[in-house]
Structure formats: C-alpha cells, structure tokens
Structure 1
Amino acid sequence: MLIEPELFFINEPELSFGYNQRTADPRDGLMLFGPHDRDKIKGQINIGIVGCINQRNRLKSYLRKLHQPVGSLQADIARPSFPGLEAAFGIHVNFDNIVEIDVKESEVNKYLQYSDGHQRVHNLSNLFADELIKYHKEEERPVSVWFLIIQDDIYKFGRPKSKIPKSPQNVRLGLKKKERNSSQPFLFDFFNQMQEAYEYEVNFHNQIKAKLLNDKIVTQILRESTVGYQEIWEDEKLIDQQRVFDSAKAWNIATTLYYKNGGLPWRLGDIREDVCYLGLVYKKLNDDPQNRSACCAAQMFIDSGDGMVFRGNIGDWYNPETKEFHITKNDAADMISQSLEAFKEKLGKGNYPKEVFIHAKTLFDDDEWTGFTEMAAGRSKIIGVRIQSTSQFKLYRDYSFCVPRGMTMKIETNKAFLWTKGFIPRLQTQVGLETPNPIVVEITRGQAAIEQVCKDVLALTKLNYNACIFADGQPVTLRFADSIGEVLTAGKNVTTSILPFKHYV
C-alpha cells in the first residue's frame, strides 16, 4: 500500500570479534580484538601450493611478507595498514610443512597456444585439478587450504570469449560443432577426451572450482601479478599505482586464508537468533535451444554469518518473455526442506529456524510459494523478499558528500529504497566517485516489518569473507549468486553435496 514517503536512517551494523567485542569496521575489530574464532583457529596452519616453480616461489615470498606489517603507498583511514598475519588473526603458515605440487611450465605454455578456447581452458585446468584430486586420494598429510598460483596469461586467456594472439605457433586442435555433442564414441580415446572439453564452460576459475567440488577441496586462486608484480613488471609508474593497494590486498588474502582454514573472522553483532536467510541462485544453460533450461540453487546463511550452498535440479525454470526464473512446487518444497534440516543440524540445538527470509531478484509465483510454505508449515515462518538494483531514483543533499550508507526511504508499507553505498563516517569518505544508487527491498510474500528487513539486508552486506572491506553493495545472500550458479553449471555433470560457502569463492 502506498504511503507518504518516510525517510529514516539505519545505524551501521556492528560486527562481533574476539572476546565478543564489537565494532563496525572489520579491520578495526581484527586489529584490536582478533577474529571471532580466535580461540578455535589459532597457531600454525598447513597449506598447499600448486603451480610452476617460479610462481610458487613468488607466493612463498609473499606469504612470508604477510607475516609482517604491510603498508600502502597512500595509506589513510579508508586504506589502513595490515598489521601482519599473526597480529591480526593469531595464525602463521608452517613454512616447513608446505605441500608443493609442481606444474610444468612447458605444459602450461603448450596449452596456452591452443586456439580452441574449450581445449585450452580444459587442459589448463586439468593440470591443476588432476594433481589436487590425486593428492587428495593418495596422500595423508593434511592440507587445509590449497593456493593455486597461476600465470597472468592463464587468467587472461582462460576467460569466456578470450582469444590468443595470432601466431604460427598456435595449435589448431579441436572438434567441429556437430562432433562435440555426438553420442557416438570415437574410435580413438584421444578424440573422446577432446570431446569432454566441450562439456565445460570456457572459464578457468569456474572449471577448477567445479572439478574439485565432489572431493571437497578448498582452494584460493591467485595470479602471479597479485603477489609478485614488483618482480615481473618493469613499468615503475604502473608499479607505484599498484602499491596503493598493497595493504588492501594483504587484508583480503589474509581474511580469505583464515576463513577457508575453518575460522569465522567476524559475525554479526546484533544476532537475531534462530533466523535464517536464503538466497536463490539461478543460472541459464547455454546449450538449450529453447532458452528455458536453468540450474537452481540456494545459499543459506545462518545467524552466525556462515553459509552453505544447496544445489537444486535442472529444469525449464527460465521464461524468456518475462525474463524471470521460477521453480516448481516440488522443487521449492525440496529446497526449503534441505535448508531447514541443514539449519537444525548446523546449530546443533535440534530446532528449526523461527523465521526464514528468502531473498530473490524476482517475484515468487503461486506454485513455488506454496511449495515453500507447505513444507515449512509447523516448523518455520517464511517471508519472501525481492531485492533489486535500480538506477531510476537518486537522492541528493547539499553537502560535500553524498547521502550516508544506511539511509532508507519507505515508499510503501512493504517496500523501501535502501542505500547500501554512500558516505561512511568511519572512513570519512564515500565508496565510489558517483552518486550512489539505492537497492529496492520489497516484502512480496509473508508478513514482516520492512524496517527490520532493511536492517537485516544492510547487515548482510558485511558478511563477505572473501574480502576484508567495510561493506558490500549487495547482501551476501545475492552477492555471489551469479558466480555460484556459474560454478554449478561450469560442467555438464557437476556433482556435489551440501557444501560450505568457501568451496565456491
């Protein structure tokens, strides 16, 4: 129902760190109090490194520097110095026990000359994935996190639509389109192996993640220029430009290392106990001529802030006319059932969540909503929330900086504009140079107060453990929806169980 627009402000959500101390900026909390799981994850950690010898050596050198303070060329409030891995997180890498797997540079260079993108990326990703799976099955030395350190050319030519420069050395090896999906096996295994490459998306990152899901191998992929740009670049001006981000890079890599090692760097300060947030994920399948087939999945985030991913079924979920995704009643019921049972098991309290907020970018139709509510009846209250980006509305003010992050304009009883980007007093600046756009938060199913929903959404923008930043522009329930969908559909037969969020990022 339309109302007179009401403008109000939501205070910056606080995070909880070591000793249950609170602060709004993750970097402040880590420097002052340490991570939330400081008593659970501490001391030495065992890592593995996969890559060519030069890249592995650069990464080890960088990790040693990460144990010392790291500053930036232009350090300020918004870019604080990194105090060191032990000082911030209470952990240190056991350099005497790093497991190293060598990838031959000659093999990398050979496949980088493949002009067919499918063959190039498939073979490059197998150089890393096959070795990791072999180690996982045959060796006993525990490795909590694997670093994949890759040449910049793998990143450059391992993305969709990437093409290598024309050269006489290029290898034109591939199959014709009619041969790629042929059900008739080739006479020689070599051609059957070539055919397998076309079952995967041309994306090195997504292929690696997809190929390792079934073995539950946790990885962090880094480019060599990320950790060794001063050694491989010659342009001093370019080097100085990159040095501005040294501390931010150290914060991000250290936070990711701690999280993927099993620790929560921080959690929400104002916990709403027994509340669950579910973000719906959809990804179209490009090989469907009808343009309707899609994969569905869900990201579940519990009240602590940790997350898990559930893969749903593949079906005709996409409507090219409305450009919306909708699943069937049975699939909706199955998805909410998995979420409720996982919540009950994860918390170890033997109870279901009191409330489940389902976040999506589109509206819910009657069939899927019936599936959600009927399966949750007697167990949890279900609320459907649509969250969309918009550029149709801006709010200006007569000050040096734009509107503050947290500003909210309620325009209907169940709908509001929420500014997740804007001026941040703690940083004394705004993130980005342009006047920020709000996101639209709307309760489309169920009953809840829009003020509380907006407060929750703002808090969920601070749970990106893949980086150490003040906040994101999107809640974590939707922030990684596209990338998770791409990992789940990177291969034709990607199989996985319910896995923690860290396996996908």
Structure 2
Amino acid sequence: MLFGPFDQMRVRGVKNIGIIGTKKLREQMIKYLKKINSPVINSDANIARPNFPGLETVFGISINFDNIIQIDIKDNDIEKYLRYTDSHQRVHNWVNLYVDPLIAYSEKEEMPVDIWFIVIPESIYQFGRPNSKIPKSAENINIGLKKQERNSTQLDMFFQEEKEQLREAYEFEVNFHNQLKAKILSAKIVTQIIRESKITYRDIFSQKQIEEEQKFDTSKAWNISNTLYYKLGGLPWKLGDVRDGVCYLGLVYKKTESDSKSKNACCAAQMFLDSGDGMVFRGNVGPWWNPQSGEFHLSEQDAFEIISQSLDSYYYKFNDYPKEIFIHAKTYFDNVEWKGFEEAVKGKSQIIGVRIKENSAFKIYRHSSYCVPRGTMMQYDNSKAFLWTKGFVPRFKTQIGLETPNPIDIAITRGNADIDTVCKDILSLTKLNYNACIYGDGVPVTLKFADSIGEILTAGKDIKTGVLPFKHYI
C-alpha cells in the first residue's frame, strides 16, 4: 500500500485482458474490475482487513477498458449440459465450451491478451466438482457409456464416431477447474477463474448473507489484484534476506488411478528461485507408489532426469548452477532415488533432502493473551526441529488465526545442512503464496501447491506440457 509491488518498474501501464462467459457475467466482471480500479473501503472498521486503494494506485497497472476482448458463452449451452446425468460428460462439455474458443483465439487472432478472466456461474461451480450429482428431473439427459464400454478398443458396428467422442470425456477428471487448466497448458494461456457469487453476491444472496460477504470486499480486491499482477509477469514482493545461489525443489506426486492397489503415479518438481517465483517440471508416470509404506519413491533414472531438468533451467536463467539445492518432500528419500539425485548434481551443486510434515501431537502454551510467536523453533536433534509457522506476530501485535497453532516437523534426512538455516528458509518460503495476499501460510510454498499441481497434471490422460511458470497452474 505504501511502496507498491517489487516489480513496479518492470510491470506497469495499460494491460489488455479478455473475458469469457455469458453476456450477463461478462458485464458483471467488467463492472467489478471498474470497481477495484477505485478504492474499496472496509465496511467493518473493527475487522483487521486493510482498505484497498485501487488497482492502479497500488500496482501501477490499469485495464484497457476500451478494448476488452470478449468471448460469448451461451446460457442455453450451459443449461443443456447441466441436465447431463453423467458427470464426466457434463464437466467435459462444460470445459470445452470455454477451452475450444480460447485455443482458437490464441491460434488465429493477432490482438494479444495478457490474461483471460473465465467467469463461471454457480451451477458450474456446484455441479462441476467430483462426486457432484444433479437433482432428479424428467428433463435430465442420460448420455454416456457404461463402465465396460469406456475403455473398449473393440470397433462398434454403429455410431463409432459418436462413441469415440463420448469416450474422450472419461479420460479426464470430474473437476472443472483442474480439467480446464490441464487442457490449456500446452497452449500456454494464462487464466483466472472467477466464480459468479464472488463478484455478484448482492444480486443472489439474502440480506444477512450480503452483510457477511461484504466484510470480505477488501480482501477479495487485494487477492484478485495481487494474483492478476503476478500472472501478468510481476512479482508482488520478494524476500528481503534470501541466500544467493540457493534453490528449493518441492516434489509433487499424484496417483493416476483410483485403484488403491495400483502403483502408477505422476511425478513433478516445483522449483522456487531466490525471487520466490516457480517453475514446474513434469516427470514420467511410473510405479512410484508403494501401498505398503504409503510413500512415493522414484527410480534412479527418473530421479536423475527430473533434477537434471531443474538444473538445466536454473543454468539457462543464471548462467551458473546453484550452490545448494534443497529438496522438500512429505516422506523420506530411499537409497535408489537419492543415488539418482546425487548423480544429477555431481560436480554442479550440493544437494540436501528435507522431510516436512504437519504435526498435531502436541501444542505449546504460554502465559500470555496470545499464542506462541510465529517463527518459534524447538530443536530436538542435530538435524530435526519443530517449527511454528503460525502464531503471534510481534510486528502486527496480534496472532494469525484464532486457534493455538500446531508446529510442522522438519528433518534433514539426506546431505549436510544446519537445521537453524533450514528452518529459517522454510519459514521464509511460507511467505511466497502469490495466489493470495497472505502474510504467512502454515506450510512452505514448495509443498503448499503440491496437491493442486499434481491434480492438474493428472486431470487428463497424456496431458502435454513443457516447463511452465507456476502461474499456469494456480
């Protein structure tokens, strides 16, 4: 609010945006963007949510309202697919309503769009998620394939083309957000999905709900503006005292099949630089899941390849290799995969493995009106410690959250490093959630988005993507 974003001299000025949605929602989105171009004042002075001075005032960017690219989605099409009882068919068709014209625009039109706002109605939010079922109705449409027909390779005598189109829907996860992000990864289209009720709640909520929701008007303005700025290529903030030549990798695993006995999983790595920005490297799908131990472990070759990708990207950016690479994971590293990691960094960097997991075994209380300070560390071994990433913040003279916080359990499991330094780094990495204007998360960003990135990478069969910035996944 006082000094502007970190990249204010690099990302500034008028930006071209696109909006895709129904006519009503596009109009509402433009109305909302004009609203946050001006100050947004907190309706409840007793709640510690700062006022928002306005998009251009804070971030130095403005929207070209005279030339907003708009793509229309017909209400009738959304309503038609809403009646589909098969959730795979319903969500697949909904996603394609948005994805097909977005990809067509990126391939055929010359006017560049810096970011697309995808505005969805509440019906898509409600019935575009896993396990969602539409209410029974005589108007419902039963279109789909039985389970034994979905993966069939046998040619049908009739309606072969129609059945192939239906089969495609079962290759994707029933999740509108993840499926949409996955389908546009290869096109490198930057998007922000906006839910109808978040910008039009005064039109659809009761008076009591409106009074509660408007308390968050300033928070939403900060969050949307902050993620907009980041997705336009700017860093809202940067850590003040990061160590040079250090990068952090968060390993991402996601099972590709729901069968509990299946070992197949997708692996990816999130690399975070000293700037706090991130890149995602997709690894191979393989038998990385061990049902007995409940852990994921790579083969030596795949461990070598995914670290090599990360090192090559770092070298391309800085013309040198990092001095240290810290690999963060929720489980221990086995000897086979660690050998692959070490081979990849030989003669280039020092590598350290850190296991991070949330711990609810005990709490620390103190004789005070507030809980334990955020940043408290209790070392219980040469390479192990508990770290409180939530709690009382002396600078704010208050605590984040109302509960007595739990610590996270940190252990250096491979390589050599100072536990005090490792804990300081991890505490810093809790401040890098650019997707929301949050001072400090409970877990470091290396693990914060691991699950969501894994879900996008496995939201469809054979998702094609190269090395992409973090902004394409959030």
- TM bucket (normalised to shorter chain) is over 0.9
Displacement after TM superposition at 1:471 (Å): 1.1
Distance 2:7 2:46 in 1: 28
**Contact 2:17–2:113 (CA<8 Å) still a contact in 1?**
yes
Give the match for residue 184 of structure 1: 154
Q: What TM-score do the two structures reach when normalised by structure 2?
A: 0.98
Q: How does 1:49-88 map to 2 (within 5 A)?
A: 49-75=19-45, 78-88=48-58
Q: Secondary structure at the match of 1:343?
A: helix
Q: Secondary structure at the match of 1:213?
A: coil
The reply on whether 1:108 has 2:57 as its aligned counterpart is no
The reply on whether 1:224 has 2:193 as its aligned counterpart is no
Distance 2:41 2:425 in 1: 34
Distance 2:296 2:399 in 1: 34
Give the match for residue 335 of structure 1: 306
Distance 1:180 1:428, change over 3 A: same
Q: What TM-score do the two structures reach when normalised by structure 1?
A: 0.92
**Contact 2:43–2:215 (CA<8 Å) still a contact in 1?**
yes
Letter in 1 for 2:240: G
**Contact 2:260–2:291 (CA<8 Å) still a contact in 1?**
no
Give the match for residue 170 of structure 2: 198
Distance 1:436 1:185, change over 3 A: farther
* Alpha-carbon displacement from aligned partner over 1:127-160 (angstroms, at most 9, x marks no partner): 0011101101111100011100000110111110
**Contact 1:114–1:120 (CA<8 Å) still a contact in 2?**
yes
Displacement after TM superposition at 1:428 (Å): 3.3
* Alpha-carbon displacement from aligned partner over 1:382-429 (angstroms, at most 9, x marks no partner): 000000001102111111111111111011110110011111233333
Which of 413, 426, 443 pairs up with 1:457? 426
Unpaired runs of 5+ in structure 2?
none
The reply on whether 1:91 has 2:69 as its aligned counterpart is no
Distance 1:492 1:486 in 2: 12
Letter in 1 for 2:162: F
**Contact 1:185–1:192 (CA<8 Å) still a contact in 2?**
no
Displacement after TM superposition at 1:184 (Å): 2.4
Q: Secondary structure at the match of 1:74?
A: coil
* Alpha-carbon displacement from aligned partner over 1:309-333 (angstroms, at most 9, x marks no partner): 0000001100111100000000000
Which of 421, 424, 441 pairs up with 1:472? 441
Q: How does 1:366-377 map to 2 (within 5 A)?
A: 366-377=335-346
Higher relative contact order, chain-length normalized (CA < 8 Å, sep 6+): 1
Give the match for residue 271 of structure 1: 242
Displacement after TM superposition at 1:77 (Å): 7.1
Q: Secondary structure at the match of 1:111?
A: helix
* Alpha-carbon displacement from aligned partner over 1:340-395 (angstroms, at most 9, x marks no partner): 11011123xx1000000000000000011010011101100000000000110211
Distance 1:449 1:418 in 2: 14
Q: Secondary structure at the match of 1:127?
A: helix
Q: How does 1:413-492 map to 2 (within 5 A)?
A: 413-492=382-461
Paired residues, what number? 472
Displacement after TM superposition at 1:48 (Å): 0.5
Letter in 1 for 2:85: S
**Contact 1:259–1:502 (CA<8 Å) still a contact in 2?**
yes
Give the match for residue 149 of structure 1: 119
Give the match for residue 169 of structure 1: 139
Q: What is the root-mean-square deviation in Å for CA atoms of aligned residues?
A: 1.1
Letter in 1 for 2:179: Q
Give the match for residue 233 of structure 2: 262
**Contact 1:78–1:427 (CA<8 Å) still a contact in 2?**
no
Distance 1:469 1:171, change over 3 A: same
Letter in 2 for 1:215: A
Which of 289, 295, 302 pairs up with 2:266? 295
Q: Secondary structure at the match of 1:295?
A: strand
Distance 1:257 1:127 in 2: 23
Which of 278, 282, 297 pairs up with 2:253? 282
Distance 1:37 1:472 in 2: 22
Distance 1:420 1:78 in 2: 20
Letter in 2 for 1:361: K
Unpaired runs of 5+ in structure 1?
1-30
Displacement after TM superposition at 1:238 (Å): 0.4
The reply on whether 1:358 has 2:330 as its aligned counterpart is no
Distance 1:148 1:428 in 2: 39
Give the match for residue 28 of structure 1: none
Give the match for residue 128 of structure 1: 98
